[in-house]
Structures are given as structure tokens and as C-alpha cells.
Chain A
């Protein structure tokens, strides 16, 4: 892995964490309302997967999607302004936290109904396959989504027609407050894919390099014409389901033990100077050692100062995003009507009441 790639991972993961923590603060300040689902703990999945994709690939995701949007390249300003419900938000304040879209980035939306994205991803895949384009679609979903009928319907069709869809499970072990053992008869999500003859595997989702390599490998198989693939990344969210959730259903010991697997700390560690200590090697587990040593030695190093500079740069980006959002006006009802009727061609509506 080259230094630039590592640098981008580092930057995006630090940005993701800082952005989300600031969003939580702005929620408490009353600048963000509604449901706010934050991503700390899961950054390695978004960063690893999205960096493995090409700009020509499509992404579709869930209501916990701010970080996906940021990593995909939507400016923090426009994401924050959307969370604030302002006119300069990426969706002009019509979508909000759970519905970020960016046509240019092929960011096909965050969706707030669990499981509804599978068919849409399949449709995007169908359109790619029909036109025989060298593209793919990546569909993010949580472990709770696999019990919806749409999961099974979509996997069946994607496999039947060999569509270029990468299904990415962000398995954080909870559907809102119900732990996976209590919501799924089969707790290994990847095993369900075999029912539809879709190759699948389960991986550590706390290690960004691991996520990146696995995704690249899966996308290469898709581009070679092997049809859909499914990756299950085991991860963990450090916060509750949303800002409205204090997370009382989780034992404190569980949360703190997961915190030691913090993916942001992991990437700093991997990008850091020198070789890991014996104790760190033992703690990381044998699978990570080769990778770690290899990357640190072969790719050039980042020192503490560098990481500190990145942090400061990100603080400025996030502060700027908040100021931008604060200074953006609220959209008007006319803006809302324009969003609703923007696609009506050829015809003038007769309903005067809509334009009073």
C-alpha cells in the first residue's frame, strides 16, 4: 500500500470521527433535529470500501450514511448544511440526515426504511448489465436488514441475472437495540448468501486495510463478470442507534472492550512510525502482523507531527462546515415545490393551489 493511500485513509477516518462527534454536539446545541444516526466505530468499513471503488461505481446506503457521503467526496459543508436542514445542503434541506444524495458522485442516496435499498441496488446493477458498462454498484446495509424480504428478493434476482452488485454488510451486531442473536436465526450474515449462490465472506471490519483489500478483490471478481458478491464486515458502533438512544441495552463492559478495537486508533497505529512492539503484535492477533509490518516498512512512515497536522486541518474543515451550515438560509416552500415538480416537462399543472 502506498503512502498516499494510507494518508487518504488516515485523513478520511479522522474526518469521519471529527465530523460525527461535532454533529452530536450540534444536535445537543439544537442546530440539528430529527433522527441522527452516528457512525463512530464503523469508519473502517466506509473508508476501506469506498476507496476501493471507482468514481464510475454507484453507492447506495442506509440512514447512517454521513461518513459514506464524506468519503465519497461530498464536501463536509454540504453534508453539515443538510443535517441542519438548510438551503445549501446537498439536498437543499429536503432530505436531511437520513437522505443524502449526490448525483455527480453517483451517491444514490441514504434510505430510512431498513431493507429497501437492496432492490434499488439490483436495479442499478440491472441497468449497468443491460448496457454492458464496466461499472458496479455497492450496496451498504446493516445486519438488521437481512431479515427483510427485499434482501432475499434482491439477492435472488442479482444472482439469477449475474448483476454487478457488491452487497456490503456493516454488521454492528445490533438492529437498533436488538442484538443479532435475538434477531437472526443465522448470525453469520455471509452464510445467507449461499442460498442464492452468491460468493460471500466474513471479515474484520475494524481494520481499514483489510476492508480495502477485500473490497478490491470482490470488485475485481465482479468486473470480471462473476456476478454479485457479498462481504460481511464485523464492526461496532460506539454510540447508540441514534441520538435518541442512550444504548442501555448494551453492557458497559461490551462497549469498553470494543473501544480497544477502535478503527481510527488502528489506522493511526498502522500508519505510525516504527515496528509494533511484541505486546502489540500479540494483541493485534497473528493475522494482522504480516500486514502491519509490511505496510509500515514498505510504504514510508507518518510521524506524530504529521498526524497532528492532519487533525488540525480536519478541525478547520469541520468548523468551517458548521459555520457554513449556520450561515445558510432555510429553504422556502417554493424551494420545496421546485424539488417536487422539477421534473414535470411538457405540461403545466392546472392546480393553482400548488402555486399560491
Chain B
């Protein structure tokens, strides 16, 4: 049953299956219909389900995201695609003030079965207004769930779980992952949507990451193994809530933490991850946790500067080498 396919195809199939099995599922966004989606995620669905269930919208992010909120209030299961996370800034009222708060403000009367999918991350020379991650903004909003799939397998299950969820779920996709291939096993039962997974076992340090950077962390761990440093790699898969337990178990074993994130370091997701794990695992740690993160600057257009502004495999390797070189655990 297992096959190899690209991440966009996994998302496409997940959406297709959910739309086929539940008539309350529909999708909308700019160019999701006739055009087939900017990253092909909705390809073929317009022909199959028609314009009412695969709706091309005007360029009105605040409007159509709020439309998704309204439809979810009546029991529909809308999947809103925001073309890139950069445009989600125009929809933050719908996301933060409404989707995240209505279930709470109504005293639990209204579920919010809304999914908002959006690609983000630093892609290839798209410049500052088309290259950023805003997970920290969304992580600070109680009531939202955020999943960050890094593989076709996770994309497939997490999108399906997000659609089935009665909570508002943001699916943060990465523009550079859509056309990466991976295995899809549609049979093995999935872990819960928010559960982190150990992508690689190790004993010397723990690399905690998510989305595209988790893949880079796996690569870095392979290189570190050649230097006899065994890094354990944890792919968080979910940024809200965060599966602290899986991370804590790992740190209990390795005693050293490197957090890898693509976004700006200052007040980013990595700050929360490092602080959260320091609070929980202080007596397990042999050294101060290290953050490998993007530079605190808008993404430069120039290719070399762009590459230098976010973590590369060698940055992760060198941080890990430096950390494991610090004094070994006393007692």
C-alpha cells in the first residue's frame, strides 16, 4: 500500500477523501478552483466537486477567511486556503478575534470546525513580503491549534485530522516542501495530530525542530553521526499544543538541547520551545539550550544573503559540535 509521492499530492488526496466522505467539507481561496491551487493542492477538485465546494474567491483575505468562520458556525467544515502566510496578516481578525475566540466567548456553544491552510517559509528569492513564517504570532493565540507537517505522511494525516477536528486548526505548510517526495502509508493508524515524533534516535544531544527545518535536522544528524555524535531528532509536528513529554523524555536521555527554527530568533517559536524545556528539564540539562534560528531581519532578495539569513545544515552541525564539546555532565 505504501507509495512514494510529493507532499502536495498527499494534501490533495487528503482533501479529496474528506470531501468525498463528508458533504459539509468545502474549500475556498484565491485560485483554488479553475486554476487548481498555487501549489496544486486543490488540483482536480473543482472538476470533481463543482464551484460551490471548491470556491475561487476574490483577493479579500479578511473577507473569505471570515466567510470560513461563518460557515463553520453553521456546522460546515470549511478548508480555507490563504495563498501564503504573508497574506494572512490581512485575515488576522478573522483568525484571532473570531475563529480562536468564538467557541470560548460563546461559553462552548459553538464549535469551530475550521481549517486554514497556508504555505509559508523562506522559499527561493521571493523577497521580504513573500518569505516569512509567522508561527509565533499564531502560537500566542489561545484557542488555535497549529500543525506543521514536514513529510507527505504527516501532511496526509494531519490535514485529515484537522478537517475532522472541531477546533480551528492552522495547517502551516512549507513552500519548499510541496514538491519533495516521501512515503505515504495510508493504513497504519496515525499518531494524534499534536504528537511529536522522534525522527532519529540518538544519545548525545536532542535536536528539536519542525517543518522544513526538521528535515535539515535529520540531515545534520546524519553528518554528526560521521563524527561519532549521536543526535536525536524530534519533529514537533504541532506548535500548539506542543508535545513536551516527547521532548522531555529525550532530554532525560541526552542532556543537551538544540532548537532549530527558520523564523527570526527574537521572540520566535524557538524561544518558547527553549524556555518551556528549560523549565521542565532544568535538572536534566548539562548546558544552556542553544537556538539555531533565522537572523533578525526581513528576508533579503539576493540569493546568497537569503540563504545566509536562515539556518543551513552546516549551522546545525556546528552548533551541535560546539554544544557536545562543553563539559560533560557532573555527578
The chain A residues found within 8 Å of chain B, CB to CB, are 58, 60, 89-95, 99, 101-103, 108-109, 111, 113, 116, 118-130, 137, 149-150, 153-154, 156-157, 160-161, 336, 338-340, 342-347, 349-351
Contact = CB atoms under 8 A, between A and B. Distances in A.
Which 4 A-B residue pairs are closest in the complex by CB-CB distance? A123-B70, A119-B66, A153-B63, A92-B107
B106 A94 contact: yes
Contacts of A91: 105-107, 109
Contacts of B63: 118-119, 122, 149-150, 153-154, 156-157
B263 interface: no
Interface residues of B, number: 54
A127 B70 contact: yes
A150 B62 contact: yes
Contact of A102 (B94, B109, B192): B109
B106 A95 contact: yes
Contact of A157 (B60, B103, B143): B60
Contact of A119 (B62, B109, B143): B62
12 contacts: A94-B107, A101-B107, A116-B98, A119-B67, A120-B73, A124-B73, A126-B70, A339-B107, A340-B142, A343-B166, A344-B165, A345-B166
B98 A121 contact: no
Among A128, A346, A347, chain B packs the most CB atoms within 10 A around the CB of: A347
A348 B93 CA distance: 28
A119 B70 CA distance: 7
Contacts of A350: 194-195, 241, 243-245
Interface of B: 26, 52-53, 55, 57-58, 60, 62-76, 78, 93-94, 97-98, 102-112, 142-143, 161, 164-167, 192-195, 241-245
A137 B161 CA distance: 30
Contacts, number: 171
Given A119-B65, A119-B67, A347-B192, A153 B60 contact: yes
A154 B66 contact: yes
Contacts of B73: 108-109, 120, 123-124
B181 to A, nearest CB: 29
Contacts of A156: 58, 60, 63
Counting chain A CB atoms within 10 Å of each CB, the highest count among B73, B194, B242 belongs to B73
Contacts of A128: 74
A119 B64 contact: yes
B106 A109 contact: yes
A99 B106 contact: yes
B143 A99 contact: no
Nearest to B103: A343
A117 to B, nearest CB: 8
